[in-house]
Amino acid sequence: MNQNFPTSNLLKIVPIEHLSLSSQLDGSLGANRAVGNRPQIAANTDIEAIKVWLARYLDTKTTFDSYRKEAERLLIWSVSELGKPLSSLTHEDLLVFQHFLANPQPEHKWIMPNRKVAREDDRWRPFAGPLSPTSQRQAFVILNGMFSWLVNAGYLAGNPLSLSRNRQRKAKPRVTRFLDEELWNEVKISIESMPRETNREREHYHRARWLISLLYVTGIRISEVAENTMGGFFGRRDKDNEIRYWLEITGKGDKTRVVPATKSLMDELYRYRREMGLQITPAEGEETPLLMPIGGRQQAMTRSAIHLILKKIFANTAERLRARGSDYAGRVARLEAASAHWMRHTAGSNMTSGSMDIRHVRDNLGHESITTTNNYLHSEDDKRHQDTELNHKLNW
């Protein structure tokens, strides 16, 4: 430990909002602080600077929580393990931190107990466990963005991560976590097989049917289901004077896009609203959530609650297929591995399998780049395979 920076003031691991650091550790004297430049932010300590950076994401809770987590881990590790402020970290320090992420020790100091606890709880720790290689890469992507922003803001002199090799994994040729047509049909059969004898059973059925329909037609994320309302549906006339319906979604990165609401989707919306005792057509600006809890409460559901609904649907489908025998073991395994995000991949894969313009698929899914959308082009892979099979033979 660097004895030039005593850490006795940090008695225990606490969240960033409860950290109280001396001037030797708070970054006001950091070795990497910008000198002679006119800063664009008023922050004079590392915590203040991090808070200004995070303030840009306050409207997107999932992003804010993720970014705060990574910045918090690095800051606490820096003052606790190295005895230096975040604004004194070097490239070499961050190489050490990367190894630490794979095995945060000692465990009692860094890792949560058996379950996650609230940030106000004395048992709170920065980690739920060691980070996988994928999570480590994601952490450094976020931290690199933070350091770059602090340099541009005139707070830091340089980005210690800018020297890292830009070593990226080769992307998989195509998205594989999706439901093919057979499994998609089996999921629909499972929903149609749900009991509807009581009011509560009918409510479960109609909610499941609406959720699956919404995810499949639009390809939106479950976070977007949780965070948007039915007031986002609207109609406008096209050049042929026909009313086309759309759903306005605010999603990842706080970006807004409009997604086609097909006639079949609107029929499902009307069905769901009728069962919920609502006026059939949503009013402009209506605050009714896209998906509601059982019992008629008009409040938004959490991402985890929506995820559980989908996992239950997949599990029920897997049970039906398992009963058909060992020939269905592979399909059962895929359903048991499926998560909520598979529905987005399923939507994207189906959109690209027909004659839809790839640019339209990109805009529907809200992709920044058409390269991302290309990962759903399974039909092109099939054609390529057939062409190779026909024309590229061994001929022993």
Q: Mark whether 197 and 340 lie in a shared domain.
A: yes
| Global confidence as pTM | 0.53
Chain CA centroid to CA 103, Å? 24
Q: Mark whether 200 and 126 lie in a shared domain.
A: no
pLDDT in tens, 332-365: 998 898 888 888 777 777 676 665 666 776 766 6
Which amino acid, residue 171? A
Q: What is the mean pLDDT of each run of 10 residues along the chain (396 residues)?
A: 39 84 92 86 94 89 90 94 94 94 92 82 90 89 93 93 63 61 91 95 96 89 91 86 87 81 91 94 92 88 92 93 91 87 77 66 59 48 53 49
Whether residue 2 is contained in a domain is answered as: no
Which amino acid, residue 173? P
Count the Cβ atoms, other than its own, within 10 Å of residue 351: 21
Q: Which range of residues forms the domain containing residue 292?
A: 181-388
Q: How far is the C-alpha of 70 from the C-alpha of 141, rounded, in Å?
A: 10
Whether residue 8 is contained in a domain is answered as: no
Q: Mark whether 308 and 345 lie in a shared domain.
A: yes
Q: Is the dihedral of CA 201, 207, 209, 211 positive or negative?
A: negative
Strands 233-237 and 256-260: unpaired
CATH of the domain at 296: 1.10.443.10
Q: How many helices (H) and strands (E) does the chain have?
A: 15, 3
The count of structural domains within the chain is 2
Q: Mark whether 145 and 190 lie in a shared domain.
A: no
Cα-Cα-Cα-Cα torsion 364, 368, 370, 375, nearest 10 degrees, comes to -80
Q: Mark whether 147 and 221 lie in a shared domain.
A: no
Q: Mark whether 136 and 225 lie in a shared domain.
A: no
Whether residue 24 is contained in a domain is answered as: yes
Whether residue 208 is contained in a domain is answered as: yes
Nearest alpha-carbon partner for 353 in 373, 329, 324, 323 = 373
pLDDT > 90 fraction of the chain, expressed in percent and rounded: 48
Q: How far is the C-alpha of 186 from the C-alpha of 313, rounded, in Å?
A: 10
Q: Mark whether 148 and 186 lie in a shared domain.
A: no
Strand ranges in the chain using DSSP code E only, listed in sequence order: 233-237, 243-250, 256-260
Boundary-marking domain end, from 152, 171, 198:
152
Whether residue 266 is contained in a domain is answered as: yes
Q: Mark whether 209 and 349 lie in a shared domain.
A: yes
Q: How far is the C-alpha of 193 from the C-alpha of 299, rounded, in Å?
A: 27
Q: Mark whether 219 and 357 lie in a shared domain.
A: yes
176 close to 310: Cβ distance less than 8 angstroms:
no
Q: Mark whether 187 and 324 lie in a shared domain.
A: yes
Q: Which residue has the tokens 């399974």?
A: 378
Q: Mark whether 201 and 330 lie in a shared domain.
A: yes
Instruction: Provide the 3-class DSSP secondary structure of residue 247.
Output: strand
Q: Mark whether 253 and 381 lie in a shared domain.
A: yes
Boundary-marking domain end, from 107, 135, 152:
152
Q: How far is the C-alpha of 46 from the C-alpha of 54, rounded, in Å?
A: 12
Whether residue 89 is contained in a domain is answered as: yes
Boundary-marking domain end, from 152, 173, 196:
152
